Amino acid sequence: MAKDMPALRKQIRAALPSLLGKALTGYRRFAAEPPPKDAKGFATHHAACRAALAHMELLLRLARWAEANGNSDESSGEDIAKLILEAREALSEITEEE
């Protein structure tokens, strides 16, 4: 698995600018909508915004990992798998809230 890491890092570096741009555009669009006035609707809207921000944070963590080139503590396959899982969970929270 370690020998595949440079190729994976390269793929992630190539994909992340587009993914971050899409995540930011989606967050801006959603956050610009006025939140519902009722407490439940507001809480749902707020949770969805937090989930979108968490997704962007995880994409940035992936970017740091991809740029590290094996020179950080986050260079193992287990770490990247964990980051990907966390990103997927954050994304699923967004779609569940919508």
Find where tokens 């396959």 sit: 77
Does 72 or 67 have the greater pLDDT score?
A: 67
Does 66 or 87 have the greater pLDDT score?
A: 66
Surface-to-core class of residue 94, CB atoms within 10 Å of its CB (0-12 exposed, 13-18 middle, 19+ buried): buried
Domain boundaries of the chain, sorted by first residue: 2-97
Pair 10, 69: CB distance under 8 Å: no
pLDDT at position 36 is: 93
Q: What is the pTM of this model?
A: 0.62
Using alpha carbons only, what angle is made at residue 76 by residues 79 and 92, rounded to the nearest 5 degrees?
Answer: 25
Total residues found in the chain within this entry: 98
